[in-house]
Amino acid sequence: MQIFFEQQDDSPGTPKKKKEVKKKFKLEPHEDQLFLDGNEVYVWIYDPVHFKTFAMGLILVIAVIAATLFPLWPAEMRVGVYYLSVAAGCFVASILLLAVGKQIR
């Protein structure tokens, strides 16, 4: 990848010329981001966030806010969440009991 830059000599006391000087810069990505004294060009390689990752992060933030506001939920929703958590606990316990039973047998 090559980029051309135009350089103009605007120092005082020199007549202005219409001549444009173009310099070639060869861009090579390096793992070691190190600046040395010279005429190097810095390139930022932008890796955008995928929509799926953004959506999952947004859902996670909304879920954390909703869980934080649990005391403000209506009573019916709190009871429903209680029953769901008991059902999930029983499911996890049954899986653990099956694993222990398999190891004993």
- What's the whole-number mean pLDDT along residues 31-36? 67
| 29 contacts 43 by C-beta, under 8 angstroms | yes
Whole-number Å distance between alpha carbons of 6 and 17: 13
Q: Compare 29 and 61 and report the one with higher pLDDT.
A: 61
- What's the whole-number mean pLDDT along residues 26-42? 67
- What's the whole-number mean pLDDT along residues 94-99? 97
| Three-state secondary-structure class, residue 30 | coil
Percent with pLDDT over 70 in the chain = 67
Question: Is residue 97 predicted with pLDDT exceeding 70?
Answer: yes
User: What is the residue type of 26?
Assistant: K
Q: Compare 50 and 43 and report the one with higher pLDDT.
A: 50
Q: Compare 40 and 83 and report the one with higher pLDDT.
A: 83
